């Protein structure tokens, strides 16, 4: 199966909130992340990722419902394991949900879930999401114990956190890449499917192609940044073309 591309449009919503934080539902509020999603789909995105954070710094509740209603591909809802967000996820019934750690002081998600410490809470939420037909992924570091815990929790997917790889240089970068390779193989052997994301861009994504068994990459900031200069459709098409270089 060709490597799929999920386009994260959180930062389209970030731009809207910079001007319309108090009136995001206004007909004047732009850019509309749903319109951006439809452009991304038409350009070849295999799915749209949106993170509904507790502080609502970018995506708003209404955005998530509208995305679910409008998309022809699939909605991947990134979410912290907070009761309010879980309740919305159970109403929306997104095709996919990726459970991520969340810290209100962070600029973006920093590091993977601790599936060992929070096992009981995660198990409860995963069961609820499964019951409404949502496919569950856990955003984790390529740590052997976390991968085993994800398998024990019966998640369908893990999403390997690629931030340490993306931020490293030299020998440290090779070390982080090897961790991803080893983690992906372990996850595959345990029956998990493997996505990856965080910090991926047009320069480093091909380096990730030595990681086996990848199903989908979720990429946002780099695509939105490129779109400022080339337009969103061109930015998505370019990344989609790069993804086609992944060995089958």
Cα(128)–Cα(166) distance, rounded to whole angstroms? 33
Given a cut of 60, whether residue 16 has pLDDT beyond it is yes
In a domain, 179, yes or no: yes
DSSP conformation class of 90: H
What does the block give as tokens for 231?
Answer: 């337009």
pLDDT score, position 108: 53
Average pLDDT rounded to a whole number, residues 117-141: 97
- The total domain count for the chain is 1
pLDDT score, position 105: 57
| Mean pLDDT taken over the chain | 95
pLDDT score, position 126: 98
Q: What is the pTM of this model?
A: 0.94
From the CA atom positions of the chain, what is the Rg in Å? Answer: 17
pLDDT bin (cut points 50, 70, 90) of residue 1 is: confident
Rounded to the nearest 5 degrees, what angle is found at the Cα of 199, between the Cα atoms of 144 and 67?
100
DSSP string, 153-218: TT-SEEEEE-HHHHH--HHHHHHHHHHHHHHHHHHHHTT-EEEEESS--TTTGGGGGGSTTEEEEE
pLDDT bin (cut points 50, 70, 90) of residue 65 is: very high
Q: Is the four-CA dihedral 92, 93, 98, 103 of positive or negative sign?
A: positive
In a domain, 224, yes or no: yes
CATH number of residue 98's parent domain: 3.20.20.70
In a domain, 248, yes or no: no
Note the pLDDT tens digit of each residue in 72-119.
Answer: 999 999 999 999 999 999 999 999 999 999 765 545 556 799 999 999
| Burial of 85 from C-beta contacts in 10 A (0-12 / 13-18 / 19+) | buried
pLDDT score, position 102: 78
pLDDT score, position 37: 98
In a domain, 162, yes or no: yes
Note the pLDDT tens digit of each residue in 22-34.
Answer: 887 787 889 999 9
In a domain, 191, yes or no: yes
Q: Which domain holds residue 61?
A: 4-243
| Burial of 128 from C-beta contacts in 10 A (0-12 / 13-18 / 19+) | middle
> Would you name the residues annotated as active-site residues?
51, 78, 198
pLDDT score, position 110: 62
């Amino acid at each position: 199966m060709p490597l799929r591309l999920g386009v994260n449009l959180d930062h389209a919503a970030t731009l809207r909130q910079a001007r319309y934080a108090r009136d995001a539902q206004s007909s004047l509020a732009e850019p509309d992340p749903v319109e951006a999603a439809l452009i991304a789909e038409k350009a070849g995105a295999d799915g749209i990722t949106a993170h509904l954070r507790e502080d609502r710094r970018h995506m708003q509740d209404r955005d998530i419902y509208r995305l679910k209603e409008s998309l022809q591909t699939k909605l991947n809802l990134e979410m912290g394991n907070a009761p309010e967000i879980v309740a919305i996820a159970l109403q929306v019934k997104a095709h996919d949900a990726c459970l991520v750690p969340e810290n209100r002081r962070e600029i973006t998600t920093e590091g993977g879930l601790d599936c060992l410490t929070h096992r009981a809470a995660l198990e409860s939420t995963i069961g609820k999401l499964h019951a409404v037909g949502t496919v569950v992924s856990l955003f984790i570091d390529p740590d052997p114990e976390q991968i085993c815990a994800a398998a024990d929790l019966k998640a369908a997917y893990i999403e390997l956190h690629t931030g340490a790889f993306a931020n490293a240089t030299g020998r440290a970068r090779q070390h982080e890449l090897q961790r991803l390779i080893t983690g992906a193989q372990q996850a595959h052997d345990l029956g998990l499917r493997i996505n990856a994301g965080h910090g991926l861009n047009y320069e480093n994504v091909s380096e990730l192609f030595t990681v086996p068994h990848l199903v989908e990459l979720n990429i946002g900031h780099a695509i939105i940044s490129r779109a400022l200069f080339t337009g969103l459709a061109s930015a998505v098409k370019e990344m989609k073309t790069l993804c086609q270089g992944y060995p089958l």
